Amino acid sequence: MNKNYYITTPIYYPSARPHMGHAYSSIIADFFARFKKIDGYKVYFLTGTDEHGLKIQRAAEKQNKDPKSFCDEISKTFENLSKSLNLSNTDFIRTTEDRHKKSVQNLWNILEKNKQIYLSKYSGWYSVSDEAFYNEDEVEEKDELKIAKSSGSIVEWVEEESFFFKLSEWQKPLLEFYDKNKNFILPESRRNEVISFVKGGLKDLSVSRKTFSWGIKVPSDENHVVYVWLDALTNYLSSLKYPDENNNLFKNFWPADLHIIGKDILRFHAIYWPAFLLAANIEPPKRVYGHGWILSGDMKMSKSKGNILDPLEIINNYGLDSLRYYLLKEVSFGNDGNISEEKLENCINSDLANNFGNLCQRVLSFAEKNCSSIIPKHDFNNDDLVILNSLKDLSKIRSFIDNQDINQYMSFIVDRLFASNKYFNDQEPWKKKNDKLRLYTIVYTAIELIRKISIILYPVMPQTCIKVLNTFNIKEDYIDLSSLENDDFLKEKLKISKLDILFKKIDK
Ligand code: MSP
C-alpha cells in the first residue's frame, strides 16, 4: 500500500495581507495533512505565494514599490500566518524562486515540443483581479462598467500578440478523464458544473502576456511572460523538484493526492491544470476539492469588498484551536459559511468549554481526588466496552477523511463527546466509593475515552490535544490513529500530570 500523501493549499496572491478566506483553505489542508500523518503516512504538505502577474504588478505600483520587494514583504505575512495557524507544511514555495522558474520554463518547453503551443493574437476580456480571460457571454455591464458575471470583478479589453495553448484539443480527453476518475472533482455539484462547462466546448487558451513584464519569461520569446495561471499551477510540481523526474520527491509524491482550493478557482484546477499535464505527458492529480467561501453577511469576504475579518485578531482574542474547530465544524464543508464573533463565542461555550473541556476537567479532577492521579486498574463490564468500541472503527473514520467528509467527521466527534459525558454521568462513579474496582474502572474507561477522542480531535485542534495527550505521557510524534483499536492502551500506575483549564467559558 502506498503510504505517501501529497496535499496542497492554493498559493496565495500577496497583493494584500491574508484574511479569513485564506486561513480557511490552509486550515482545511492542515487538517487532512495531520490526519494522514497520525495514520502512518509520509505527508508532503505544500503552501506558498503566487507572486507574478498584472494584479501584483499593479498592487506594487500603487505603493511605489518594485514588485519583488513588494512581494518579499507580503509573502512574509503569509509565511507568518502559516506559523500562526500552526500549519504542518513541509515546504513554502514562492513563484519568484529560481527552482520554480526552472520548472515552469521546462513545462513550457515540453508543451511547445509536443506542439501544444502556437503564436497568435488575443483580443477579448481580461480581469486583472481574477487573472482570467472571459468570453463575451461571461461578461455583463453594471453601472457602466463591464464585469465578469461569475466573480463581479471588472474586466478590461485586451488586444495583443499571445501564445495559445491548444485547449480545444483536450475537450474529449478531459471528459474521458473525468469519466474514468469519478472523484477527481469534489464535491459532486462542482464536478457537474465543470463537466457541463467542458461539454459546452473549449476554446484555445491564451498562455502568455506581452504588455507587461512581471512574470516568468517565455523561453523561446523573451518579449512574452508566461500567463500567471500556467506559472502558478506549476508550483505543485516545482516543490517536488520537477523537472528532475527521477528525484525521490517527485517519484514518491506525484501525482498529488489532494488539491484543496476555493470554488472560485475550480476552472483553473479542474480544466486547465489536467489539460496542461496531459499535454505534457504528466499524470494529473488525483483529486481537486473546491470548498465554499467564508462569507461576511452574505458576501464573499475579500480585500476588494473591504469586509475582511483578520485571522490574527481572532486568534489573539479567542485562541487558534477555537478558530480551527469553528471553521471545521460550523462551516459545512463544500458550502459557503459564515463566521462572526458571536457565533464563534457560542461555539466555544457549547462545544469546547461545556463538552470537550468539561469532559477532560471533570474526569481528571475526579481521578486526582479518587485515584491520586494514577491510572487505576480496571475490569471492564459491558457498558464500558460498548462505549470504548464506538471509538475504534478505523475504517469508518478513514472513510470520512478519504471522502473529504469533514462534516461527518466532526459530527462523529461531537456525538462521541456527548456520549462520553453521558457515560460518566450515568455511571455515577462518586456513588461507588464502596466498590473501588468499579470506581477505578469507570475512571479508567473515561480516561481512555478522553485519549481516543483527543487523537481524533488532534487534526482539528493540535495544540489542545497535545496538551491533553501529554498528561498521559503521549508525545506528539507518537500519536497513532491505530491505537484507537486498543481499549486499554494506558498502563496501570502511570502518573497523570496536571491539565490546566482548556477553554474558558465566555461570559455573554
Ligand atoms: N493565486 C491564486 C491561486 C493559485 S493556486 C495555483 C488565488 N489566490 S487568492 O489569494 O486569491 O486565493 C487563494 C485561495 O483563498 C482560493 O482558494 C480562494 O478560494 C480562497 N479564498 C479567498 N477568499 C475566500 C473566502 N472569502 N472564503 C474562502 N476562501 C476564499 O486565487
Domains (ranges, CATH) in the chain? 341-485 (1.10.730.10)
Q: Is the pLDDT score of 93 beyond 80?
A: yes
DSSP state of 374: B
Instruction: Kindly indicate the confidence band of residue 300, based on its pLDDT and cuts at 50, 70 and 90.
Output: confident
Instruction: Kindly indicate the confidence band of residue 309, based on its pLDDT and cuts at 50, 70 and 90.
Output: confident
Q: How far is the CA of 171 from the centre of ligand 1 (A)?
A: 26
If one compares 334 and 1, the residue with the highest pLDDT of the two is: 334
Q: Tell me what pLDDT residue 296 has.
A: 79
What lines the ligand 1 site, CB under 6 Å?
A: 10-13, 21-22, 24-25, 50, 232-233, 235, 261-262, 264-265, 293-294, 300-302
Q: How far is the CA of 15 from the centre of ligand 1 (A)?
A: 12
Q: Tell me what pLDDT residue 242 has.
A: 94
CA distance 478 to 466: 10
Q: Is the pLDDT score of 508 beyond 90?
A: no
Q: How far is the CA of 355 from the centre of ligand 1 (A)?
A: 33
Nearest-atom number in ligand 1 for the CA of 50 is: 1
> Dihedral through CA 133, CA 134, CA 135, CA 137, nearest 10?
180
Nearest-atom number in ligand 1 for the CA of 10 is: 5
State the average pLDDT over residues 305-309.
74
State the average pLDDT over residues 142-149.
92
Instruction: Kindly indicate the confidence band of residue 140, based on its pLDDT and cuts at 50, 70 and 90.
Output: very high
- Give the number of residues written for the chain: 508
Q: How far is the CA of 53 from the centre of ligand 1 (A)?
A: 15
Tell me the backbone φ, ψ of residue 414, rounded to 5 degrees.
Answer: -60, -40
Percent of the chain with pLDDT over 70: 99
Q: How far is the CA of 128 from the centre of ligand 1 (A)?
A: 14
CA 165 to chain CA centroid, Å, is 30
Instruction: Kindly indicate the confidence band of residue 489, based on its pLDDT and cuts at 50, 70 and 90.
Output: very high
Q: Is the pLDDT score of 378 beyond 90?
A: yes
| Cβ atoms of 174 and 271 closer than 8 Å | yes
State the average pLDDT over residues 478-492.
97
Region of residue 43 (phi > 0: left; psi between -120 and 50: alpha; otherwise: beta): beta
Query: How much is the mean pLDDT over the chain?
Result: 95
Instruction: Kindly indicate the confidence band of residue 245, based on its pLDDT and cuts at 50, 70 and 90.
Output: confident
pLDDT tens digits, one per residue of 411-460? 999 999 999 999 999 999 999 999 999 999 999 999 999 999 999 999 99
Q: Tell me what pLDDT residue 1 has.
A: 67
Q: Tell me what pLDDT residue 170 has.
A: 98
Nearest-atom number in ligand 1 for the CA of 15 is: 10
Residue 250, SS3? helix
3-state helix vs strand vs coil in the chain, percent to 5: 50, 15, 30
Q: Tell me what pLDDT residue 40 has.
A: 97
Going by alpha carbons, the residue nearest to atom 10 of ligand 1 is: 12
Q: Tell me what pLDDT residue 299 has.
A: 76
Nearest-atom number in ligand 1 for the CA of 263 is: 19
Best substitution site from 50, 273, 335 to test ligand 1's pocket, by max atoms within 8 Å of Cβ? 50
- Residue 236 CA neighbour count, 13 Å, CB half: 28
Q: How far is the CA of 3 from the centre of ligand 1 (A)?
A: 29
CA distance 94 to 345: 36
Q: How far is the CA of 487 from the centre of ligand 1 (A)?
A: 42
Q: Tell me what pLDDT residue 83 has.
A: 97
Q: Tell me what pLDDT residue 303 has.
A: 67
Q: Give the DSSP H or E segment for 396.
A: helix 394-402
CA distance 494 to 372: 11
